[in-house]
Structure formats: structure tokens, C-alpha cells
Structure 1
Amino acid sequence: MSTGRDDDALRWDGDDDPTLDVGSLPEADPERGAADTSEPLALPDGYQAVGKGSEKVGHIESDGTVTMPGDAQPMSNGTLVTLGILAGAYLLFTIGWIIGGIRLQGTAQFLVSPVGYQVSFWLAVAAPALWFLTTYLLTRASKSWVRIVWLIAGLVVLIPWPFVMVGAVGQ
């Protein structure tokens, strides 16, 4: 019979630690030959995944949270302020189209039918809000500079010319 001392050479001290999980190793995937982990893969700062499947690798932030490539990133303070300024400009453009369109209503009756004028008037009033909303929704997955460029392009395209040419008071 062997004593407990003879078995000491066959095991490490601390093998009976309950925090060690030696019985549940992940099963290998027969197609890839790699272990299938249920936890998403993520790399810390300074590391970049390359090769096949690298687009699925996340990033470990400094506070320990894991962000995956499909996760939505919060906007920076500068982007939020810029969006607020642009939203205010779009609101002013809407007001400019309302004021300018109302000022031209009497003159427009000689050129187009009243129904045609009303349809074009309300389309012009809704255009800035529609451009802002469409750009905001379609550029959700894009970089923030792409969204800003499209919003600035909308400001150039949607200038309320009746207000600019005639003004609030008129000539």
C-alpha cells in the first residue's frame, strides 16, 4: 500500500481548488479544428485582429467592457454639438420657407394654380425636416463625418430662396 506521501509526486498543490474548472473544456469544431467558445473574442488596446474572421473580433475598453464591431458607439461631444447646430439651422430653414412662401403667395397666383402652389409650398416646408431625418437615419452605421457632410450638403441645397430674395418684409 502506498501512503499519501507517495502520491504527492503525482499531483500539484492546489489541485482540489474549486475555482479551477478542469472538467468543462470546450469541444473542438470538426470543420475549423478550433475550440468553440461561447464568449465573443476581444482584444485589448494595442492589438489588432488580422486575417479570416477578424471583423468579428471585439475590443476591450480600459474599464473592462467589451465592445463588439456591431455595437453602436456613442457620439462624441463635438458631434452632438455639431448636430444640434445643424438641427437648429434646418429649423430656421423651415421657418424661412414658411415666411418666404407666404410672402410669394399673391404673386404665385398669377403663375400657377392655387392647388399646385399649396402642394409645392408644403413640400418646400417639409423638405428640411425630411432631409435631416433621412440623413440621420441612413448614416447610422457610417462615420460621423459622413453624416455631417451630408447635412451640410442639405443646407446648401435647401436654401430658402424666397426668403433670401424677398425677405420677411419685402421690397
Structure 2
Amino acid sequence: MSIPRDDDALSWGGDDDPTLDVGEKHAPTPVPGGEVEAGPIEPLQPAAAPVTRHPEPVRSEPVAVDDVDDEDPDAAHAAPLGNVGLVGIGMVAATFLLFAIGWLLAGLRLNGLGLPIPSVTVIALTIGAALAPVVWFVAVLALTRSWRTWQRFLLLIVGIVLLVPWPFLSLGAFA
């Protein structure tokens, strides 16, 4: 009977296989005769300093302690959305898509009611109303990239409240 190792839970079956040993890597080096000679590969060296996406502006004059902004560090660079945020964005996108379809159906119903306005006007307004939820969604996502997640969702919910297809709801789906 063998003695269990402390890190057995952290290993995968077959980790001790000698064919999986990396050993010393060799890279082929060209030889003048056209043959390739293998030589050791040097490991990559880690970068001296991490590279940022948006480097801070460089000031030429010395900065006094009073000149330093007390901004929130999260305001400059928003964290990427997690799983819950992505699912929420998907649900809001589906809501806006349904609103666009609702505005389109309501406009088509209004066109057939015999309103005293030209059909071209009703069609143009229908297309504009159907595009409004899509434009709101894309504009909020594009213009609020550096904002916090809750602020972005707040603007999206304001758009949901403002862009409800009231004519579709008041006329009904099968009226």
C-alpha cells in the first residue's frame, strides 16, 4: 500500500508519465549544407514592467502633492463584465429587440387604420420607432465603456422604460 501524497488532489492521472517530461528543448539551427542542427531554446524572459492599454500622460514639470487628482481608480478603467453582467446584457438586448418588433408591428397596424396622415409619414415614423431601441442599446454600450457596470445598466433600464411600444400594447397583438 502506498503513502498518499499531499498534492494528489491537485494532480491528474498520468502526470508521472516519463514521456510527458519536457526536458531541455532544442530548436533547429540551419547548417550551410542545408541540414538542420538542433540547439537549445532559451526560455522567454518576463517583461520588465507590465504594459498598460492607456498609458498615463507624461508631465514635463514636477507635480505638487496638491495637483494630484483624487479620482477613483475604477472610474478610469472599468473592469470587464462577468458572467452575470453578460447574461444581463443579453436579456436587455433581447428586450430591446422585442421592443423594436413591437414598434414595427404597431406601426404596420396604425398604417391600416386610415389615419389622416400620409402613408409615407407613417412608414418613416414606424421605421424610426423600430430603430430607436436598437440605437439606444448600441449607443449606451458604445458611449459608456469606461463607466461602472451599474451605471450602464441604469441607462439601459431607463431606455427600457422610455421605449416601451405603447401603441402595440394598447392595440393588442391580435386587434
TM-score by length of 2: 0.57
Question: Equivalent residue for 1:159?
Answer: 164
Asked whether the 8 Å contact 1:55–1:69 carries over to 2, the reply is no
Asked whether the 8 Å contact 1:128–1:158 carries over to 2, the reply is yes
Q: Read off the aligned partner of 2:100 and give its amino acid letter.
A: T
Q: Cα gap change, 1:157/1:72 in structure 2, threshold over 3 Å: closer, same or farther?
A: closer
Structure 1 residue 54, shift from structure 2 partner: 7.0
- RMSD over aligned CA atoms reads 3.1
Structure 1 residue 71, shift from structure 2 partner: 5.0
Pairing of 1:113-128 with structure 2 (within 5 A)? 113-128=118-133
Asked whether the 8 Å contact 1:103–1:168 carries over to 2, the reply is no
Counterpart CA distance in 2 for 1:128 and 1:69 is 27
Counterpart CA distance in 2 for 1:84 and 1:51 is 44
Counterpart CA distance in 2 for 1:115 and 1:105 is 9
Match of 1:104, SS state, is helix
- Matched residue count: 117
Asked whether the 8 Å contact 2:100–2:133 carries over to 1, the reply is yes
Question: Equivalent residue for 2:142?
Answer: 137
TM-score by length of 1: 0.58
Question: Equivalent residue for 1:168?
Answer: 173
Question: Equivalent residue for 1:102?
Answer: 108
Q: Cα gap change, 1:70/1:114 in structure 2, threshold over 3 Å: closer, same or farther?
A: same
Counterpart CA distance in 1 for 2:75 and 2:136 is 28
Question: Equivalent residue for 2:97?
Answer: 91
Counterpart CA distance in 2 for 1:69 and 1:148 is 16
Counterpart CA distance in 2 for 1:51 and 1:74 is 32
Match of 2:117, SS state, is coil
Pairing of 1:36-75 with structure 2 (within 5 A)? 53=68, 73-75=79-81
Question: Equivalent residue for 2:15?
Answer: none
Q: Cα gap change, 1:51/1:81 in structure 2, threshold over 3 Å: closer, same or farther?
A: farther
Structure 1 residue 149, shift from structure 2 partner: 0.5
Match of 1:74, SS state, is coil
Q: Read off the aligned partner of 2:79 and give its amino acid letter.
A: Q
Which of the numbers 112, 116, 120 marks the counterpart of 2:117?
A: 112
Structure 2, unaligned runs of 5 or more: 1-59
1:91-145: per-residue Cα shift (whole Å, max 9, x none)?
11111111111122112x4321112111111000100000101111111111011
4+ aligned runs moved over 2 Å, structure 1: 30-33, 50-56, 68-73
Counterpart CA distance in 2 for 1:69 and 1:97 is 36
Asked whether the 8 Å contact 1:93–1:158 carries over to 2, the reply is yes
Match of 1:134, SS state, is helix
Amino-acid identity (%): 36
